[in-house]
Amino acid sequence: MCGIIGCVGRDDATLDTLVHGLSTLEYRGYDSAGVATASNSVDVVKTSGKIEELRETLEGAALTGDVGIGHTRWSTHGPPTDANSHPHQDCTGDVAVVHNGIIENYQHLRDELAASGHTFTSDTDTEVIPHLVEDQLAEGAEPERAIRNAVSRLEGSYAVAVVVAGHGTVYAARNDSPLVLGLGEDETFLASDVPAFRDYTDQVVYLDDGEFARLEDKGWTVTTLDGDPVEKDVDTIDWDPEETGKSGYDHYMLKEIHEQPRALRQCLRGRVDEMAGTVTIEDVGDLSPDGVQFVACGTSYHAALYGAQLFRDAGIPAQAFLASEYVTSVPPLSDALVVGVTQSGETADTLSALRTARKRGVKTLAVTNVVGSTAARECNHAFYIRAGPEIGVAASKTFSTQQVALNQLALSMTDADATREIISALRDLPSNVQRILDESTARSVAETYENADAYFFIGRGYQYPVALEGALKMKEITYKHAEGFASGELKHGPLALVTENTPVFAVVTGDDEQARKIVGNVKEVEARDAPVVAISDGQSDVSRYADHVLEIPETHPRTAAVLANTHLQLVAYHVANLFGHNIDKPRNLAKSVTVE
């Protein structure tokens, strides 16, 4: 949520670079946007609404500075208005600031500043920052010292970028909110995420908490907030800028659903030896935990539920916790391995949970998509899912690759039964997903039930997290009421909501006792005249009781969950598309939730 871009050394291309960078960060979720450029003065243009509206406003403006910063805001303090948009300035107009995060002591600072004569024009917590800098400059401090002193008074989470009139420099500081530098030839960039400058360079430096960066056309430096030099590694981004385009698809989400076969191959490559029947994950090392605690949020929490069952089935106690609950009510840890599942590696609640575990001396492992992310750097170990960049706010290929990555993790750490059979199913998974993408009748199902009152999803075992994820996708992009349940729970309350206009999606695979129980639950639904959509591999007789069947190839129960999920992603997508919603940027949501 919220996006930051900054650049130095782009000369006449500064403004275009800022606006282009903001457009690549739209996927993070936002409700206003703005830019500031600095030379002998600081010029700011900002507006509520979308990037297109900012572009229209800029057509009549004259911004000439050769260094600049930009921002897309997702409202926290104050509604999305022009005044609340970033950048924010001080009373003199010589300082401009953009900020991601939440300043927890902003009200105290604001009261103090107002009492000393400062005038505020917004409702935001961010606006205290330029005024703090202004006070320091008035006392004779040079800009860098003024900004360091101002930042030192902030409590909470922040990624801050600042420009000052008369200085060709972008200053930045980070605490609990991501910032990354992009290193070009005679030009330097700053952003909250790599896509903002990936068209210009693949060389990056990730800032850590408590670090301060200075960007000039002649180079860059990183120090602690106190000014001590920090040696930083320069990493190379291994994906092409083309990967963040739509490639002819109507929406990023649809493109990313169709990219799943490739993403799954990338996740499996070099880790699975089918001949030997082994899985080796060099990044993780030799971990043999007595127990596993997963911490995650949203879609990643559903992957964590799935992963916990994988470990339990192999005889290792495992639980999945909502990261936000874990922090405030920490369960007994003993010698458990704490695994944070986070697509971005920057999810604030998940980072807090992992830090809580580390403070208690427990080993931590990040399962993430982003190399160099905060979770990857702070945990004892990192395991990358290799999904490639995902732009759509609603997760698709990152969920399926999380499922596969957790399979690999469980197989590498446990003595699972039928390991060769599971590995064979994992090998076949990309082609089986492709088959579903080629043959799915999800669009027809969506057209049949687009006007339903609500949607219910049921499953058991490995399919229960898939039911939860199917419901979440429907909520996120269609804005319709949807719920996922363990199928046996229907008769304990939710059945009261079932009507002839509430389709029930039942995930039924195999023909064991579990499948037979779900079929029994389907009969309960059918008896109340609710339409049933079965996601089935044809082994059970659920099709006899279903109005529609979305077929999946016969496979191992573990990988059947990935295949079933593909159908549900497509159903949600097509329903949302029929409504004409902004699928890639659903209302009120952000791709990376970096505040608690």
| Distance between CA atoms of residues 413 and 403, nearest Å | 16
For residues 451 and 422, state if they share a domain. no
Token code pair at residue 505: 């999606």
For residues 228 and 251, state if they share a domain. no
User: What pLDDT is recorded for position 157?
Assistant: 86
475, 480, 585, 591: which one is catalytic?
591
Q: In a 3-state reduction of DSSP, which class is residue 538?
A: coil
Q: In a 3-state reduction of DSSP, which class is residue 437?
A: helix
Token code pair at residue 200: 């210009």
Q: What share of the chain is helix, strand, coil (3-state, %, to 5)?
A: 40, 20, 40
Question: Mean pLDDT in the chain?
Answer: 91
Closest by Cα among 310, 314, 328, 101 to 339: 310
Residue type, 442: A
3-state secondary structure 519-535: HHHHHHHHCCCCCEEEE
Are residues 1 and 31 in contact, defined by beta-carbon separation less than 8 angstroms?
no
Are residues 427 and 559 in contact, defined by beta-carbon separation less than 8 angstroms?
no
- Residue 60, pLDDT > 80, answer no
Domain C-terminal end among 437, 456, 490: 437
The HSE-up count of residue 212 (CA atoms within 13 Å, CB side) is 19
- Structure confidence by residue, pLDDT tens digits, 421-472: 899 999 999 999 999 999 999 999 999 999 999 999 999 999 999 999 999 9
For residues 415 and 501, state if they share a domain. no
- Dihedral, CA atoms, 179, 184, 186, 188, nearest 10 degrees? -10
| Distance between CA atoms of residues 488 and 464, nearest Å | 10
Domain C-terminal end among 411, 437, 463: 437
- Whether the ω angle into residue 87 lies within 30 degrees of 0, i.e. cis, is yes
| Across 323-334, average pLDDT | 85
For residues 415 and 460, state if they share a domain. no
Binned at pLDDT 50, 70 and 90, residue 323 comes out as very high
For residues 426 and 459, state if they share a domain. no
User: What pLDDT is recorded for position 18?
Assistant: 94
**What CATH number is attached to the domain comprising 143?**
3.60.20.10
For residues 294 and 204, state if they share a domain. no
For residues 348 and 207, state if they share a domain. no
User: What pLDDT is recorded for position 405?
Assistant: 96
Binned at pLDDT 50, 70 and 90, residue 417 comes out as low
Closest by Cα among 385, 419, 384, 378 to 400: 385
User: What pLDDT is recorded for position 217?
Assistant: 83
Identify the domain containing residue 267 by its residue range.
243-437
User: What pLDDT is recorded for position 242?
Assistant: 64
User: What pLDDT is recorded for position 306?
Assistant: 98
Angle, CA of 205, 211 and 215, to the nearest 5°: 60
| Distance between CA atoms of residues 327 and 333, nearest Å | 13
User: What pLDDT is recorded for position 591?
Assistant: 67
Domain C-terminal end among 179, 206, 237: 237
For residues 476 and 351, state if they share a domain. no
- Structure confidence by residue, pLDDT tens digits, 220-241: 999 999 999 999 989 888 777 6
Please identify which residue in the block is written with the tokens 């490559």. Answer: 269
Please identify which residue in the block is written with the tokens 């297109």. Answer: 52
Pairing of strands 219-224, 548-551: unpaired
Where is 504: in which H helix or E strand? strand 504-508
| Across 157-172, average pLDDT | 95
2, 7, 297, 379: which one is catalytic?
2
Residue type, 54: L
**What CATH number is attached to the domain comprising 545?**
3.40.50.10490
| Across 318-346, average pLDDT | 90
For residues 444 and 394, state if they share a domain. no
- Structure confidence by residue, pLDDT tens digits, 522-535: 898 888 889 999 99
For residues 128 and 69, state if they share a domain. yes
- Structure confidence by residue, pLDDT tens digits, 261-286: 999 999 998 888 877 778 888 777 77
Task: Name 492's Cβ contacts closer than 8 Å, sequence gap at least 6.
Answer: none
- Dihedral, CA atoms, 508, 509, 510, 516, nearest 10 degrees? -10
379 is an active site residue: no
Q: In a 3-state reduction of DSSP, which class is residue 420?
A: helix
Among 381-390, 406-415, 488-497, 520-529, top mean pLDDT goes to 381-390
Residues paired with residue 180 on neighbouring β-strands, in sequence order = 191, 206
| Distance between CA atoms of residues 533 and 491, nearest Å | 18
User: What pLDDT is recorded for position 288?
Assistant: 79
| Across 361-385, average pLDDT | 92
| Distance between CA atoms of residues 549 and 535, nearest Å | 6
- Residue 135, pLDDT > 70, answer yes
Task: Name 148's Cβ contacts closer than 8 Å, sequence gap at least 6.
Answer: 173, 212, 225, 226, 227
The total of other beta-carbon atoms located within 10 Å of residue 269's CB is 9
- Structure confidence by residue, pLDDT tens digits, 539-588: 998 989 899 999 999 999 999 999 999 999 999 999 999 999 999 888 88
Where is 151: in which H helix or E strand? helix 143-151
Q: For the whole prediction, is pTM greater than 0.85? A: no
For residues 422 and 461, state if they share a domain. no
For residues 374 and 330, state if they share a domain. yes
The number of folded domains in the chain is 3
| Distance between CA atoms of residues 532 and 500, nearest Å | 10
| DSSP E strands, 198-322 | 203-206, 211-216, 219-224, 235-236, 272-273, 278-279, 292-296, 318-322
195 compared with 439, residue with greater pLDDT = 439
